[in-house]
């Protein structure tokens, strides 16, 4: 894969391999781990603009950043009201972040039915207003969206142009329609049509589970970079292979992730989170099913650590 830095406003990323936002997974510890393994830019989990404006504790916890967090700091906001989106973007909670990404691609029914996420693709004027209002906060704005709601409404090119015109500094395009969720082939042509229509960087997303997948996505779309999503949950070391970063000792890296998670988050959250992550990491290993059952019986830091010590990576 051809590596290069990506310019977002006046900022420059380490390279063009991004970790996509993953609700429930891309907390600051996981993002730092992926950055250290070779990701050029990472995004927070999607954060509700209204939740921030109403000072929701659960929402604020998604924005936790340790003092030593490295790299460009990118937060993803979601919402459908331009007023609340701008107010959130200008809030003290977003102040530590360098880039604001706007989610216009989430296919989850709860988000979609509320007129947020991918629902905004059906209302380009509103989507444009949101981008222009958020841009008034003074930070570079990026937008993540899909190629359309369904195969009868493929709008990647038009939506990309509208986002650029509204003030977006970069766009990330998931090459599937909203109704496909995360299944089916990626539509290279739609991403390519958007890339050819705009001057801002275009990051292609969807179906990247290997270096071969990333190369194919880049070659067939002309995109400036790729965003890795689900593959990173199972194998964050994919960033080493994509970036050419030497692969460190896996167990040491995951041990560090476990330790940092318990340091920064409360025990209940950390136990549940690390149970899920360790279950992802052991997929495909001998006796993975039995190991997973054992992990999901863990209810304390000590039990998680004991279970981890018995794993071989």
Length of the chain: 313
d(CA 160, CA 143) in angstroms, rounded, equals 9
Tokens for 185?
A: 């082939």
Which residues touch 184 (CB under 8 Å, ≥6 apart)?
A: 176
d(CA 32, CA 38) in angstroms, rounded, equals 10
Could you tell me the maximum CA-CA distance found in the chain, to the nearest angstrom?
55
Q: What is the CA radius of gyration of the chain?
A: 19
d(CA 41, CA 144) in angstroms, rounded, equals 14
* Contact present, 75 and 99 (Cβ < 8 Å): yes
Indicate the pairing of strand 11-12 with strand 7-8: antiparallel
* Contact present, 137 and 89 (Cβ < 8 Å): yes
Which residue is catalytic, options 34, 106, 240, 298?
A: 106
Active-site annotation holds for 106: yes
d(CA 274, CA 25) in angstroms, rounded, equals 10
The set of catalytic residues is: 106
């Amino acid at each position: 894969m051809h590596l290069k830095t990506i310019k977002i406003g006046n900022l420059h990323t380490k390279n063009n391999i991004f970790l996509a936002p993953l609700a429930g997974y891309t907390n600051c510890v996981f993002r730092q781990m992926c950055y250290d393994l070779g990701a050029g830019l990472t995004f927070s989990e999607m954060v509700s603009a209204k939740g921030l404006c109403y000072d929701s504790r659960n929402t604020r916890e998604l924005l936790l950043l340790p003092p030593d967090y490295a790299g460009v700091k990118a937060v993803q906001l979601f919402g459908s009201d331009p007023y609340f989106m701008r107010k959130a973007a200008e809030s003290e909670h977003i102040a530590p972040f360098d880039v604001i990404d706007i989610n216009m691609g989430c296919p989850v029914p709860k988000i979609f039915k509320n007129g947020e996420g991918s629902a905004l693709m059906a209302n380009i004027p509103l989507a444009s207003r949101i981008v222009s209002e958020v841009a008034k906060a003074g930070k570079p704005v990026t937008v993540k969206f899909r190629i359309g709601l369904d195969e009868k409404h493929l709008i990647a090119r038009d939506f990309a142009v509208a986002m650029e015109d509204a003030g977006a500094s970069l766009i990330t395009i998931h090459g599937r329609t909203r109704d496909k969720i995360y299944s089916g082939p990626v539509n290279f042509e739609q991403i390519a049509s958007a890339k050819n229509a705009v001057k801002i960087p275009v990051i292609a997303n969807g179906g990247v589970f290997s270096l071969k997948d990333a190369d194919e996505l880049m070659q067939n779309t002309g995109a400036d970079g790729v965003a890795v999503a689900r593959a990173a949950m199972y194998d964050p070391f994919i960033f080493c292979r994509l970036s050419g970063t030497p692969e460190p000792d896996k167990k040491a890296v995951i041990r560090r992730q476990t330790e940092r998670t318990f340091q920064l988050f409360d025990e209940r959250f950390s136990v549940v989170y690390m149970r899920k992550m360790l279950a992802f990491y052991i997929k495909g290993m001998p006796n993975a099913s039995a190991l997973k059952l054992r992990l999901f019986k863990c209810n304390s830091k000590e039990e998680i650590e004991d279970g981890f010590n018995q794993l071989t990576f």
